[in-house]
Structure 1
Amino acid sequence: MLLFIGSPRFLSLSKLIFIPKTISLSVSASKMELESPTTLILCGKSSIENELAMLLKTNNTLKLPENASINVVLHSENEKQESFQKDAFQIDSYMNSLSTSRVGKFLIYSPKLASTHDVVSHNFCELPLGTVCVADVQLKGRGRSKNVWESPKGCLMFSFTIQMEDGRVVPLVQYVVCLAMTEAINDVCLRNGIPPPNVRIKWPNDLYLDGLKVGGILCTSTYRSKKFNVRIGLNVSNEKPTTCLNAIIQRLNSVTYQLQREDIVAAFFNKFENYYDIFICQGFQALEELYYKTWLHSGQRVIVQEKNENQDQISENVVTIQVN
């Protein structure tokens, strides 16, 4: 349900309030899997990041909640073994596609871990801004309303870090992230000769394709230290429990090509860094036109609450969202 506060003549993203349905997505992870050492493979885009990776390993710096056991490995030491693992995240492919100057250049990859968010949030001070953590399997992913679930192979699950000076605009970051992801998917499809899918943003932070949810974004922050962690989940190639990005694209376009997680996350950071710089320098209004082109709610009817200036009563009106 979407609820607007204020005059219907000035409907804006900043006045939207989201009232979520109560949904339980809890899935119990295997106790044995959680107690096994978590392998973290470190890799950098440049020699600077790779030197940091070596330092983090040598000093045993990285930590997980409850002092969980960690096995830290450098990508350069494990490269051959990774390339032969079926469905493993291909680090070299990701790095070759990445063209950013800041975000995504330091990568922490794990075949299986409890939560990518735990890695970046518990090691924020030791990691460079823009660090990304990617997992093939996530055992205790978390979303809104403290929902917890297991993310199997085929899902693109990653978290990354950013920093922002002005805490007042923090709620708008998720819109920039959603926009960057929809544009990244379009770019990857176009590069491979596939018509861009009509991925839409369901306010405030879900991604839909052909009427079904294929992804979601969650931003968490500790503003006292101006730290922000962004969590993203995109179902790329696992059709359970409903569908996935590749299945819908193949059905709509009769193609056999499979989008790869490495290409999508690299394209995302390439887009996000550009959009984030525009957002910081010019405000979200500079991105609004592009955002509304991917918005799911144009033409939908919503409830507008308006408080009478002379009374405490609140009146409700149903209006249709119009985007010019």
Structure 2
Amino acid sequence: MEKELAKSLKENSILKLSDDVELPTILQSEMERQSEKDEFNIDAYMASLMTTSFGRVLLWSPRLPSTQDVVSLNFCEIPIGSVCIADVQFKGRGRSQNVWESPKGSLLFSFTIQMEDGRVVPLLQYVVCLAMTEAIKDLTLKNGIPPLNLRIKWPNDLYLDGLKVGGILCTSKYRSKKFNVSAGVGLNVDNVKPTTSLNAALRKLNCGYKLQREEITSSFFNKFEHFFHILINQGFQPLEELYYKTWLHSEQRIIVQEQNEDQDLPIENVVTIKGLTSSGYLLAITDNSEMCELHPDGNSFDFFKGLVRRKLT
């Protein structure tokens, strides 16, 4: 069925790269044997993929402006769970319209999700982050290597030994009573710049093992599909304990701002992070034992320099 769908996409030339540019496509069966050693190996990826829906329809290109744009623009033409992977992208999108330029050695992909319950849509980015950290942990343990110190920085960044190595971006549109979500992942696997990479950390261990983009991607989808079914059927609560073990913020003390009607400048207060609220924001407690929810102010580049406090009743 998936092969027939791929043929239809090619024959009808319906994939778009932008509003007025078609995306030329060829089938995997029509491709010459991959000669570039740093190209994404489709066969290796498919061989270890064990999902029933996510990641099974693959769009791959050596170079794209943005995988996120490809899946967003073609959301209704490709099956739910389809993934777009690029070896290099030069107009990748980050939070607040930031551009994410990605060199070779990065893992760059976006995929499609559809959801009906708007209450859990904001929590999806946490599931994507968790699936990635758990996938990489499984791969290292499988090869007899202690897990890397890969952690989640709320809301959607991945950090390794204090340096950013990845980011998650989820965008959604509401259509026909469903949320069409495009989830994008960027991860430094084997590129040293601009910060560090997973394999740079492995080289320091002198373990002789090197993570491959293909095995990370398939392991991610194997994890994500399982976690996604939990989120849809049971909510985020069954995943919370595992998430809190992976993120950076338990009991973290931070400064937040609160606007006072009698003063022009906001008041700064110190709070302690306790977890997440049901809506996906940060749950914190003040030194006066008052529970509050922390929201980004929408202006600051760093979320933790632009949090505002809202009291919980």
What TM bracket, shorter-length normalisation? Answer: 0.7 to 0.9
CA distance in 1 between partners of 2:175 and 2:160 (Å) = 37
> Which secondary structure state, in structure 2, belongs to the residue aligned with residue 124 of structure 1?
coil
Match of 1:136 in 2: 87
Specify every segment of 5 or more residues in structure 2 that has no aligned partner in the other structure, as ranges.
Answer: 276-313
Match of 1:266 in 2: 218
| 1:210, distance to aligned residue in structure 2 (A) | 0.7
Of 92, 102, 106, 1:151 maps to 102
| 1:305, distance to aligned residue in structure 2 (A) | 6.6
Match of 1:54 in 2: 7
CA distance in 1 between partners of 2:78 and 2:14 (Å) = 10
Match of 2:30 in 1: 77
> Given the superposition, is the C-alpha separation of residues 307 and 152 from structure 1 closer, same or farther in structure 2, using an over 3 Å criterion?
closer
Of 32, 42, 67, 2:20 maps to 67
Greater helix percent: which structure?
Answer: 1
> Which secondary structure state, in structure 2, belongs to the residue aligned with residue 220 of structure 1?
strand
Matches within 5 A, 1:69-218: 69-78=22-31, 80-82=32-34, 84-218=35-169
- Where do 4+ consecutive residues of structure 1 move more than 2 Å? 66-71, 302-308, 311-317, 319-323
CA distance in 2 between partners of 1:322 and 1:73 (Å) = 50
| 1:224, distance to aligned residue in structure 2 (A) | 2.9
Specify every segment of 5 or more residues in structure 1 that has no aligned partner in the other structure, as ranges.
Answer: 1-47
CA distance in 1 between partners of 2:62 and 2:255 (Å) = 45
| 1:169, distance to aligned residue in structure 2 (A) | 1.9
| 1:117, distance to aligned residue in structure 2 (A) | 1.1
Match of 2:240 in 1: 288
Of 252, 273, 277, 1:321 maps to 273
> Given the superposition, is the C-alpha separation of residues 235 and 143 from structure 1 closer, same or farther in structure 2, using an over 3 Å criterion?
same
CA distance in 2 between partners of 1:258 and 1:299 (Å) = 34
CA distance in 1 between partners of 2:53 and 2:202 (Å) = 31
| 1:150, distance to aligned residue in structure 2 (A) | 2.2
CA distance in 1 between partners of 2:186 and 2:152 (Å) = 14
Conservation of the 8 A alpha-carbon contact between 1:112 and 1:136: yes
| Aligned AA (1:227) | N
> Which secondary structure state, in structure 1, belongs to the residue aligned with residue 2 of structure 2?
helix
Could you state the TM-score of these two structures normalised by the residue count of structure 2? 0.82
| Aligned AA (2:157) | D
Deviation readout 1:240-298 (Å, 9 max, x if unpaired): 122111101221x2223210000001000000010011011111111100000001112
Match of 1:302 in 2: 254
| 1:230, distance to aligned residue in structure 2 (A) | 0.2
**Alignment of 1:245 onto 2:198:** yes
Overall identity of the aligned pairs, in %: 66
| 1:69, distance to aligned residue in structure 2 (A) | 5.0
| Aligned AA (1:198) | N
Conservation of the 8 A alpha-carbon contact between 1:200 and 1:209: yes
| Aligned AA (1:293) | K
> Which secondary structure state, in structure 2, belongs to the residue aligned with residue 221 of structure 1?
strand
Matches within 5 A, 1:40-51: 48-51=1-4
Conservation of the 8 A alpha-carbon contact between 2:129 and 2:168: yes
CA distance in 1 between partners of 2:257 and 2:195 (Å) = 35
> Which secondary structure state, in structure 2, belongs to the residue aligned with residue 111 of structure 1?
strand
> Which secondary structure state, in structure 2, belongs to the residue aligned with residue 274 of structure 1?
helix
| 1:312, distance to aligned residue in structure 2 (A) | 8.8
| 1:102, distance to aligned residue in structure 2 (A) | 1.0
Conservation of the 8 A alpha-carbon contact between 1:115 and 1:138: yes
Deviation readout 1:37-90 (Å, 9 max, x if unpaired): xxxxxxxxxxx1111001111111211104335321111111x422x2120000
| 1:307, distance to aligned residue in structure 2 (A) | 9.4
